[in-house]
Structure 1
């Protein structure tokens, strides 16, 4: 899941075009990743990231048997006299009629813009992972705007590296936005391995509205 900077001036206006960068593991200079349009990648502001996102498409096999996968990011309060960009990370999904969750905390990784290190909470505290924002933005939609994010997650003991596509709309991305995101993913010349597994493994995550909620 990735490390948005708090308030970069260049990021106050979300991109309206779909541009992606390659994951840092494929870059020579991790500190200044370039996008598919040869512009310097800028991290999304933290307040833009902090909301609930529907995971609409993923290469992760575990989501094949789940539905209504969503991730909620919330800023964590800083200890007295300290600053923090740490984020509460709540993944919820529905499986076999029940609502399940995975909780963790994201800490910005200063080595690469838009990168985070995740650690689980509770019994998952021994688990950790690394994720990055490859692209983000807003596009006009009949209902106003649709926000989108593409994230990459590094391999762990339990999962291969992969890519997720997020939408701020419960029903998912418009077809045009999805088509352009997929085109950009397949244009990541700096990361041919990513292009390969996206082409082979990217599938839609089942969405069945309304979402199940706790206590319902």
Structure 2
């Protein structure tokens, strides 16, 4: 399976190697379950999912993506959410700049696709890199279309491919990946 992985570097490391061939908006749109992450903010969370919805192009013709994250704290039934809009990064296909909505409009972040594909069982997956912000460290997430996630062997192949980029930051993040409970 590892030979079929298309894993590339985020823009901040692109001078050291190849970037991921980005997925189409059609591939990204819909709900994804965040099944693995290196981001500490997900350590005590469960049922993390992100729904992307393509918005109509704005007056300059740019098609943005509505970005709704839902999650629960471990041991809680209350569903919390974070809502924002992703704007494609200029001159960096496969990367977006997120801006929060409502009281979160002061928050922003940058994220990029590192790889994507389809498991043998037709379950789609995507790996994202999040640059460091004022509030969070840099991180990597693995998304799955299915709540049960990806086969452990595929997750391991993805992690090995990330480490194979030979970029210290990416290797450190891949070494700190943990599973997020989905139930």
TM-score with structure 2 setting the length: 0.92
Structure 2 equivalent of residue 207 of structure 1: 182
The equivalent position to 1:109 in structure 2, one of 81, 89, 102, is 89
Contact preservation (8 Å) 1:119, 1:128: yes
For the 8 Å contact 2:8–2:114, the answer to whether it is kept is: yes
Does residue 24 (structure 1) correspond to residue 2 (structure 2)? The answer is no
Q: Report the Cα distance in structure 1 between the residues aligned to 2:97 and 2:150, rounded to whole angstroms.
A: 26
- Indicate the structure with greater helix content: 2
Please tell me whether the aligned partners of residues 71 and 90 of structure 1 are also in contact (alpha carbons under 8 angstroms). yes
**Aligned partner of residue 43 in structure 2, secondary structure:** helix
State the SS of the aligned residue for 1:84.
Answer: coil
> Which residue of 2 is the match for residue 69 of structure 1?
48
SS in 1 for 2:159: helix
Structure 1: which 4+ aligned runs deviate by more than 4 Å? Answer: none
**Larger Rg over CA atoms:** 1
Instruction: Report the Cα offset of residue 82 of structure 1.
Output: 5.4
Give SS of 2:124's match: strand
Partner of 1:127: 107
| Counterpart Cα distance in 2 of 1:133 and 1:113 | 9
| RMSD (CA atoms) | 1.7
Normalised by the size of structure 1, how large is the TM-score?
0.78
1:93 aligns to what?
A: 71
Aligned-residue offset at 1:27: 2.2
Instruction: Please give the residue correspondences for 1:3-14 in structure 2 after superposition, counting only pairs within 5 Å.
Output: none
Unaligned runs of 5+ in 2: none
Unaligned runs of 5+ in 1: 1-15, 36-40, 209-216
Aligned to 1:188: 165
Compute the displacement of 1:111 (Å). Answer: 2.8
CA deviation string 1:41-96 (max 9, x = no partner): 321110110010000000111111110000000001234x7533200000000122
In structure 1, C-alpha distance between the alignment counterparts of 2:168 and 2:93, rounded to whole Å: 21
